[in-house]
Structure 1
Amino acid sequence: MDDRMNVSFVIPCYNEEDVLPITIPKLLKELEKLRNKDVNKTLVYLVDDGSTDRTWDIIDRLSDECEFVVGVKLSRNCGHQRALLAGLNIAEGEAVISMDADLQDDITIVHQMVEEYRKGSEIVYAVRDDRTTDSFFKRQTALLFYRVMAWLGAEVIHNHADFRLMGRRSLDQLKTFKEVNLFLRGMIPLLGFKSTKVTYQRGERAAGESKYPIRKMLALAVDGITSFSVRPLRLVALMGIGFAFAAMIQLGWIFYVKYSLDTAIPGWASTLIPITFFGGVQLFCLGLVGEYIGKIYQETKQRPSFIIEKITKEKSQ
């Protein structure tokens, strides 16, 4: 009896007209080897996240030319995490592998991921074994991010992005998460299923530009921190207590200088500096609290995370 499994791939795409004609043929060629060894059927879901270039036209054409390619068009740009979730929610098969369109992720380790799944791991994380291809700034900020997330108590896999295999059980449970502010790298470890890791070396981007500039990386980091820990709010409270205590000490010192030493010199610095400092601290704390309140506001609306406008092929019956 043929016990080979069905595996799907989910690839979010945003303005990838330069890279798709290069990477998809490579991916399909690798998947042909996979079908000959471990897998009965593979489908590749290309999720267009509201691209403004010819990305959807290319996806539509690839879907017509190849029976294994399914195009999914979102009604607008929703962001990488939501586009990825849209693909995970509709993908068929016993297991689904998510990866980026630029194929910087090493597709040759897919067979290892499938093998680990067969051994009993419900989730298989692909983890970079080094970051030598990154700039010094990106390496250091990534290291800082993982350290901060670990300190905050969030379960985040070090040097892992969104290149992973998920079995059907974990995918079904992921659908029960209804939060709007998505940070899948933190949500998926919360599922608690048996998992393992495989390592790979990340390559250079085949063409085009990265869709994760510093601004988006910082936004993702803020989402991750504020979505998985209330410790920053506790730090704000402790900070307030600390500054109140420091103010009482300063007040005592002022009285001591004025009435005991009689050496107080009139000036604006002793007034202006504390006001400016504490004013900045207050604005920071209000901004942090506002970030959490804003997330609560978004969650209470219960708006859909994405709207699918079109799917090029109907689901298998």
Structure 2
Amino acid sequence: MSIDVSIIVPLYNEEAVFDQLIQRLTSVINTTSFTCEVILVNDGSSDKTDILIEQICEKDKRFTGVLLSRNHGHQLAVSAGLNFVRGKKGAMIIDGDLQDPPELVHEFYKLLSDGYDVIYAIRKNRKEGFLKKMAYSLYYRLQKKISNFNIPIDSGDFSMLSKRVVDNINSMPEQSRYLRGMRAWVGFKQIGYEYDRDERQAGETKYSWGKLFELAFNGIFNFSDFPVKIITRLGFFTVAFSLLYFVYNIYRKFAYNDVPQGFTATILAIILFSGVQMISLGLIGEYVLRIYNQVRNRPLFVIDKVIQEGEQKTTTNNKVEI
């Protein structure tokens, strides 16, 4: 069967929302004027998500199951799905919690047919709490300010990519993946599509604050040289501050014969310089850590099994053998 678009859905402990997800996806692919497949990626779930994926893949050959050996994280789960795309026109990436409506595949495909290579969704409204919405807003605008190229603000992984964009992303070997940055870096013709993001339909969010910060750091350190440059600026600032403080003490010495006594000035200088050094080492360490992870050259993910066209298939080097 010729497939036009592959819909990639990463799943991690989504048993509670799974039936509703499959119902909406099935309704979508039954009503499209183009052919679709759905790639369900199980990211090492500890509930029955993997069993449910196997059941739907055996029942409906339009569904493919990619079961990872353990939890690798959202970005790598999506990357695994991209490696199994058979859609000749491209692929759509959505989250399994139904905050991203799969029904938008119709609108995205129209734009894909109009010649756009990347259609990224822009969130007009979010249903999260005030603190999280504020954090997202500040981060996206900071990222846009310091990135080496334009990464659209308020856009997540929900998108449709042409086949050549999928192929280019699959060719990128980086370990600390930030897909929305990679997709922007590829270039080609891109357009945003505004939508209102829904609430999670069931279950709980899997993105803790820790994982959100990790993703944010990947976005900053992978696509900006600002953290390195700020070290130099901090160095110039501390040197300038020290010189000004030295001139101030000389002035007090000759004008008032009143040079500060004791350890106060020394302690202030030590704390200031130590803080700058620790920040500098931390920023450099973020880059060194990414270099270390990259040079080990480990595979991005490990696949347990693949269920395609209702049959379980073996894998070699994370590639399915048909």
Using structure 1 for the length normalisation, give the TM-score. 0.92
Unmatched tracts of structure 1, length 5 or more: none
Offset, 1:134: 2.4
Residue equivalent to 2:289: 294
**How many Å apart are 1:101 and its aligned residue?**
0.3
Q: Any conservation in 1 of the 2:24–2:102 contact (CA below 8 Å)? A: no
Residue 185 in structure 1 maps to residue 177 in structure 2 = no
How far apart, in 2, do the equivalents of 1:5 and 1:300 lie?
A: 36
Q: In structure 1, what is the equivalent of residue 13 of structure 2? A: 15
Correspondence 1:1-317 to 2 at 5 A: 6-34=4-32, 38-39=33-34, 41-94=35-88, 95-131=90-126, 133-153=127-147, 154-313=149-308
User: Aligned residues: percent identity?
Assistant: 33
Give the match's secondary structure for 1:163: strand
Q: C-alpha separation between the residues in 2 aligned to 1:316 and 1:231? A: 43
Deviation digits for residues 182-227 of structure 1 (CA, Å, limit 9, x no counterpart)? 0011011111111222221111111110111211111110111001
Decide whether the 8 Å contact of 2:3 with 2:86 is kept in 1: no
Q: Is the partner of 1:92 in helix, strand or coil?
A: coil
Residues 9-43 of structure 1: CA distance to partner in whole angstroms, max 9, x if unpaired?
10111111112122221221122112xxx21x221
Task: Quote the Cα distance in structure 2 between the aligned partners of 1:88 and 1:266.
Answer: 66
Consecutive unaligned residues in structure 2, runs of 5 or more:
314-319
Cα distance, 1:147 vs. partner? 1.5
SS of match in other structure, 2:72: coil
Coordinate RMSD, CA, aligned: 1.8
SS at match of 2:16: coil
The one-letter code of the counterpart of 1:78 is: H
State the shift of 1:121 in Å. 1.0
> How much has 1:108 moved relative to structure 2?
2.2
Aligned 8 A contact 1:109 1:200 in 2: no
CA separation in 2, counterparts of 1:118 and 1:98?
A: 17
By how many angstroms is 1:277 displaced?
A: 2.4
Structure 1 letter corresponding to 2:51: D
Q: Which amino acid aligns with 1:310?
A: K
One-letter code aligned to 1:309: D
Per-residue deviation at 1:270? 2.1
3-state SS of 1:90 partner: coil
Runs of 4+ in 1 over 6 A off after TM superposition: none
Task: Provide the C-alpha distance between the structure 2 equivalents of 1:45 and 1:230, rounded to a whole number of angstroms.
Answer: 35
Counterpart-to-counterpart distance in 2, 1:316 and 1:292 = 36
Per-residue CA deviation, residues 57-96 of structure 1 (Å, 9 max, x unaligned), is 1111121222221110111211111110110111111221
Equivalent residue for 2:316?
none
What amino acid is aligned across from residue 18 of structure 1 in structure 2?
A: A
2:4 aligned counterpart, secondary structure: strand
The amino acid across from 2:162 in the alignment is G
Amino acid of the structure 1 residue aligned with 2:82: L
Q: Secondary structure at the match of 1:222?
A: helix
SS in 1 for 2:83: helix
Matched length: 309
Residue 265 of structure 1: how far off its partner (Å): 4.5
Cα distance in 2 for partners of 1:82, 1:236 equals 31
In structure 2, distance between residues paired with 1:149 and 1:51: 31
Mapped to 2, the partners of 1:220 and 1:261 lie a distance apart of 55
